[in-house]
């Protein structure tokens, strides 16, 4: 079947904008992370929860876009559309990571200069598929599924959720889907409270894969359920209020400290299970107030995915610089961090216009 027969539905512009807000906060999280002494005192302490927010948005948008199309669409055509949407930026991000790999050699990654080119290229080729590399191919030493572009781990779990949806869960009744979401919420809360947070999922071992699966199942399928049951209202200034809420959740300092890890787990559970769905409902219900607001939301939505996929190869250089200059403070680092942030946004926009959109257009013709 021709993909073009499935005309694109109207977007939720405010949700697009919120995805961009969260993506920018992810970058600030990764820029403040190396300045902390550990996971308890990072300035943007809950920035990693943006991934859980992305999963919720993805589930909502997938349900909205595809739930009523399965009479005209096959599982194969669904996957073609998802590959066309996601894979070009996966390839670019991994390529950028490979180009910069040997230039990020530092005391933090002492073995980089010993990695043979063939091994790095093998990791790159596996990375292009978004399949995780085993620990035997951990060429950076951070135990990452994707040592050339760390953020690839969440795309791996995004694909798993898409596969589960297309092959099986799209057929669930609202009742069955609700039961799955409740089980997912219980599993997520248990993980967060017993561990103190949900930060994890990027290593190919049993514990970390559990983190990744648990962080994916609840938000993605809660988003799917929301797309089936909510009836959006008409809410003014929703983009402003939702953006402030997203920022408040993600910039919130660690709760409870080292003595009371469970308190932070409760905070994260409440945010993911209750606050994020409320934000998505408000965003889906929001009314765009002006052309300016519409342009801002469109720009933020356009750069959100490219920014997420290209910023970390830049962050590797920044982290290497900090590791070589022990004792760097935020006051000293912020100009460089700002340069990475602004440069990342500019690079994301350039990648969108000069690479992602043309490649996706080409793929649409080839895969039609």
pLDDT digits (tens, 9 = 90+) for 156-186: 999 999 999 999 999 999 999 999 999 999 9
Least Cα distance to 26 among 300, 333, 260, 256 occurs for: 300
Q: Are 89 and 356 in contact (CB under 8 A)?
A: yes
**What's the whole-number mean pLDDT along residues 75-98?**
97
CA distances from 209 to 30, 86, 136, 198, 320 (A): 21, 21, 17, 12, 27
Record the pTM: 0.96
Diameter over CA atoms, the chain: 60
Q: Are 22 and 53 in contact (CB under 8 A)?
A: yes
Handedness of CA 337, 339, 345, 349 (dihedral sign): negative
Tell me the C-alpha distance between 8 and 73, whole Å: 13
CB under 8 Å to 259, separation ≥6 — which residues? none
Is the pLDDT score of 107 beyond 90? no
Residue predicted with more confidence, 258 or 158: 158
Q: Which pLDDT does position 2 carry in this prediction?
A: 40
Q: pLDDT of 183-224, one tens digit each? A: 999 999 999 999 999 999 999 999 999 999 999 999 999 999
Please, is 299 exposed, middle or buried when counting C-beta atoms within 10 Å of its C-beta (0-12, 13-18, 19+)? middle
What residue spans of 115-173 are helical by DSSP H? 117-129, 152-167
Q: Which pLDDT does position 8 carry in this prediction?
A: 59
Mean pLDDT for the chain overall: 95
Our measurement of the distance from residue 126's CA atom to the centroid of its chain's CA atoms, rounded to an integer in Å, reads 20
Tell me the C-alpha distance between 305 and 356, whole Å: 10
Tell me the C-alpha distance between 345 and 350, whole Å: 9
DSSP class of residue 355? I
DSSP class of residue 329? -
Tell me what percent of the residues of the chain surpass a pLDDT of 70: 97
In the beta sheet, which residues pair with residue 235? 286
């Amino acid at each position: 079947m021709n993909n073009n027969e499935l005309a694109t539905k109207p977007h939720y512009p405010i949700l697009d904008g919120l995805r961009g807000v969260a993506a920018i906060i992810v970058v600030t999280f990764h820029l403040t992370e190396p300045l902390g002494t550990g996971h308890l005192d990072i300035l943007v302490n809950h920035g990693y929860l943006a991934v859980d927010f992305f999963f919720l948005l993805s589930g909502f948008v997938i349900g909205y876009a595809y739930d009523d199309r399965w009479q005209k669409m096959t599982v194969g055509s669904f996957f073609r559309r998802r590959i066309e949407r996601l894979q070009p930026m996966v390839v670019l991000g991994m390529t950028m990571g490979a180009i910069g790999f040997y230039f990020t050699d530092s005391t933090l990654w002492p073995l980089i200069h010993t990695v043979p080119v063939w091994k790095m290229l093998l990791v790159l080729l596996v990375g292009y598929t978004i399949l995780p590399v085993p620990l035997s191919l951990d060429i950076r030493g951070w135990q990452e599924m994707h040592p050339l572009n760390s953020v690839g781990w969440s795309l791996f779990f995004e694909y798993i959720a898409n596969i589960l949806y297309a092959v099986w869960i799209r057929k669930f009744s609202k009742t069955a889907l609700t039961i799955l979401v409740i089980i997912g919420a219980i599993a997520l809360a248990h993980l967060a409270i017993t561990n103190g947070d949900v930060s994890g999922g990027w290593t190919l071992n049993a514990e970390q894969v559990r983190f990744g699966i648990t962080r994916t199942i609840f938000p993605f399928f809660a988003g799917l359920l929301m797309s089936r049951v909510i009836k959006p209202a008409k809410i003014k200034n929703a983009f402003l209020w939702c953006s402030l809420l997203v920022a408040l959740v993600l910039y919130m300092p660690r709760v409870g400290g080292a003595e009371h890890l469970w308190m932070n787990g409760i905070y994260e559970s409440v945010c993911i299970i209750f606050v994020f769905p409320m934000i998505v409902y408000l965003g889906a219900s929001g009314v765009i107030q002006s052309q300016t607001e519409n342009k801002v939301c469109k720009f933020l939505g356009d750069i959100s995915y490219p920014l997420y996929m290209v910023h970390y190869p830049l962050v590797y250089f920044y982290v290497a610089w900090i590791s070589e200059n022990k004792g760097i403070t935020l006051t000293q680092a912020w100009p460089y961090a700002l340069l990475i942030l602004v440069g990342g946004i500019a690079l994301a926009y350039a990648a969108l216009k000069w690479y992602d959109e043309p490649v996706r257009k080409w793929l649409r013709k080839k895969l039609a």
